[in-house]
Amino acid sequence: MRVAHQLRPSSLEQLFLKQHAISVSRDSDSVKRPEQLSHGMRSQTADPKNSSSTVTEFILVGFEQSSPSTRALLFTLFLALYSLAMAMNGLIIFITWTDPRLNSPMYFFLGHLSFLDVCFITTTIPQMLVHLVTKNHTVSFVSCMTQMYLVFLVGVAECILLAFMAYDRYVAICHPLNYAQIMSQKVCVRLVCSSWIFGMVNGIFLEYISFRNPFCKDNHIENFFCEAPIVIALSCGDLKFTMKLIFVDAIVVLLSPMVLIITSYARILASILHRASSSSHRKTFSTCASHLTVVIFLYTSAMFSYMNPRSTHGPDKDKSFSLLYTIIMPMCSPVIYSFRNKEMKGAMGRALGRGSLA
């Protein structure tokens, strides 16, 4: 009994020491675990692939910071411009495809240019009008990709088509005797189809390089639609390499057609100066001035958006140039072509006269 009594205190002391050691180890583990967890969260947020999986939508800032009265005014203004552009381009499409007096390659190209303007303005402006009157400015990832592809397709096709229109004017003025043979209906259809095909292929390429990197930054787009340079700036990876690809593509898409346009009009100018009649000078300048006006406005805005360094950009500048080539140019193109062309004004008058009689 004495031996058992003497062993009990030692066994109790050993049990107490074991329990104390276990509690100390648990406390040390609990101290280490938050650090390990926080380190794991930091490494997870630093990994672009893990964080990019959470980017499922973008927020179009647009005119969100404007006052309600300003947004209401902008909604009324842009709705009026959009309606006018749709009506004018729709009228040009109708008269160039139905009026037999406009059965020439120039008006064939003009009708397709108006159709491209209708597609372009419909891709961007209705969404902006909805966001001006609602508080929800979010767009899904797929919707943003689709909008960017349509902008690429229509914009590139329009640049190529403008170059073909300049070539058409060159053939008509410098080679009038062979004009019908060179610019036959089959050739015109092939040129229009090639502009659409080039736009589709180039749109796929631009879409791939725009979304090949994961998105791990802010998802706010400082514009009223998904514009490629702004969306690319939100992605991770080698942004310089991506922007270089965009720049090289812009050189091919913008500068190559511009070289054709400049060459065509330089030869037109040389041919005009060799003619003695002043009336032919005025007629030729009147025909070409409308096309040159559209080319200058479209190419200036496109070059600023896709060939200018991003350091010179800003939300206000981006919105201004985006408005120029998304709504102002589609509205002004039919006005410029119709007011400087007697045949177009006559065809519009006949079409509107038939509509009023009906």
Which of the listed ranges 30-39, 71-80, 274-283, 347-356 does the model predict with the highest average pLDDT?
71-80
Q: Say how far apart CA 97 and CA 3 lie, in whole Å.
A: 117
The per-residue pLDDT for 347 is 79
Residue 340 confidence (pLDDT): 64
Residue 227, helix vs strand vs coil: coil
pLDDT average, residue stretch 309-334: 72
Report which of 121, 95, 46, 49 is spatially closest to residue 332, judged by C-alpha positions: 121
Residue 49 lies in a domain: no
| Residue 245 placed within a domain | yes
Is 3 inside any structural domain?
no
Task: Name the least confident of 179-193, 226-240, 337-351.
Answer: 337-351
Average the pLDDT over 215-235 and give the result. 84
Lowest mean pLDDT among 144-153, 188-197, 202-211, 224-233: 224-233
Question: Quick count: other Cβ atoms within 10 Å of Cβ 202?
Answer: 20
Q: How many structural domains are present in the chain?
A: 1
In angstroms, the CA 317 to CA 274 distance is 43
Q: In b/e form, how buried is each residue of 300-332, taking b as 16+ CB within 10 angstroms?
A: ebbebbbeeeeeebeeeebbebbbbbbbbbbbb
C-alpha 123/C-alpha 146 separation (Å) is 9
Q: Give mean pLDDT, residues 189-204.
A: 95
**What is the average pLDDT across 115-128?**
92
- Confidence at residue 4, expressed as pLDDT on a 0 to 100 scale: 43
Cβ atoms of residues 235 and 217 within 8 Å: yes
Radius of gyration of the chain (CA): 32
Question: Lowest-pLDDT range, 32-41, 196-205, 302-311, 321-330?
Answer: 32-41
> So what's the pLDDT on residue 93?
92
Q: What is the DSSP string of 187-222?
A: HHHHHHHHHHHHHHHHHHHHHHHHHSS-B-S--EES
pLDDT (tens digit per residue) in 40-75: 333 333 344 444 445 678 888 888 778 889 999 999
pLDDT tens digits along 80-118:
999 999 999 998 999 888 888 888 898 999 999 999 999
Q: Note the pLDDT of residue 188.
A: 95
The pLDDT score that the predictor gives to residue 339 is 65
Average pLDDT, the chain: 78
Q: CB 343: neighbour CB atoms within 10 A? A: 15
317: containing domain: 57-344
The pair of structure tokens assigned to 82 is: 């959009």
What is the distance between the alpha carbons of residues 236 and 214, in angstroms, rounded to a whole number?
Answer: 6
What pLDDT was estimated at residue 189?
95
Q: Would you say residue 22 lies in a domain?
A: no
Give the Cβ contact number of residue 29 at 10 Å: 10
Q: Taking the CA of residue 10 as centre, how many other CA atoms within 13 Å lie in the half-sphere pointing to its CB? A: 5
pTM over 0.75, yes/no: yes
6 — pLDDT class (breaks 50, 70, 90): very low
- Residue 273's CB is within 10 A of a number of other CB atoms, namely 8
- Read off the tokens for 318: 């981006």
Least confident range from 137-146, 236-245, 268-277, 290-299: namely 268-277
Q: Where do the DSSP E strands lie in the chain?
A: 57-60, 138-140, 220-221
Q: What is the rounded CA–CA span in Å between residue 144 and residue 44?
A: 26
Residue 98: per-residue pLDDT: 86
For residue 284, the model assigns a pLDDT of 67
pLDDT at position 287 over 80: no
CATH number where 184 lies: 1.20.1070.10
Which helix (DSSP H) or strand (DSSP E) does residue 57 occupy?
A: strand 57-60
Among 1-15, 169-183, 323-337, name the one with the lowest average pLDDT: 1-15
Question: Is the model's pLDDT at 136 over the cut of 50?
Answer: yes
Q: Is residue 16 in a domain? A: no
Percent of the chain with pLDDT over 90: 27
Domain assignment of residue 213, yes or no: yes
Report the C-alpha gap between 278 and 259 in whole angstroms.
28
Through-space distance between the first and last CA atoms of the chain, rounded to whole angstroms: 125
Domain annotation covers residue 147: yes
Mean pLDDT of 318-325: 77
Angle formed by the axes of helices 256-273 and 141-174, nearest 10°: 20
197 falls within a domain = yes
The reported pLDDT for the residue numbered 126 is 92
328-346 pLDDT tens trace: 888 888 887 776 677 777 8
Structure tokens given for 136: 């929800």
